Amino acid sequence: MFTRESKLRFFKHFYQLFFNSHPEIKTLFEHTDFEKQTTLLKHALSMAIMFAEDDNDLAKSVLTQIRKSHSRTKLNIKPKYYALWLNCLMHTFWVCDPQFNQALEKNWRTLLQISIDYIREGY
């Protein structure tokens, strides 16, 4: 079971890795409220799971909003950043979850790639 402290450590580690993964990434978050951002990321991960697992209207609506907000006409989140994001997330799981293993990584990657592809198609 994750504690509040372990969740905070998880997201802090993730964002540190992500910022260091490409010189442009940190600038995308210059004016970000990270308490809100962490909540948004947790919500987005939940929606990504629901989106990939079944035909869920709420999940599709949320992912469509993310798709629009991350497009070139809004936040301009370049498609190449999604692989970095996913790799940083997987690395964070390895570091923060002692029960994480190769099978879980494969499942997470497969599941999240469905949402990533949907979001990138809107670029």
Token digits for 62? 């949320």
Question: What is the C-alpha to C-alpha distance for residues 92 and 17, in angstroms, rounded to an integer?
Answer: 8
Averaged pLDDT of the chain: 94
Distances (CA, A) of 75 to 41, 67, 122: 16, 10, 12
- As a whole number of angstroms, the distance between CA 58 and CA 41 comes to 16
Containing structural domain, residue 37: 4-25+33-121
For the domain that residue 18 is a member of, what is the CATH number? 1.10.490.10
pTM of the model as a whole:
0.93
Q: Give the model confidence (pLDDT) of 29-52 as tens digits.
A: 999 999 999 999 999 999 999 999
Q: How many structural domains comprise the chain?
A: 1
Q: How far is CA 114 from CA 10, 29, 50, 108, 122, in A?
A: 23, 24, 11, 10, 13
pLDDT grade, residue 6 (50/70/90)?
Answer: confident
Confidence band, pLDDT 50/70/90 cuts, at residue 1: low
Is the pLDDT reported for residue 2 higher than 80?
no
| Pair 49, 113: CB distance under 8 Å | no
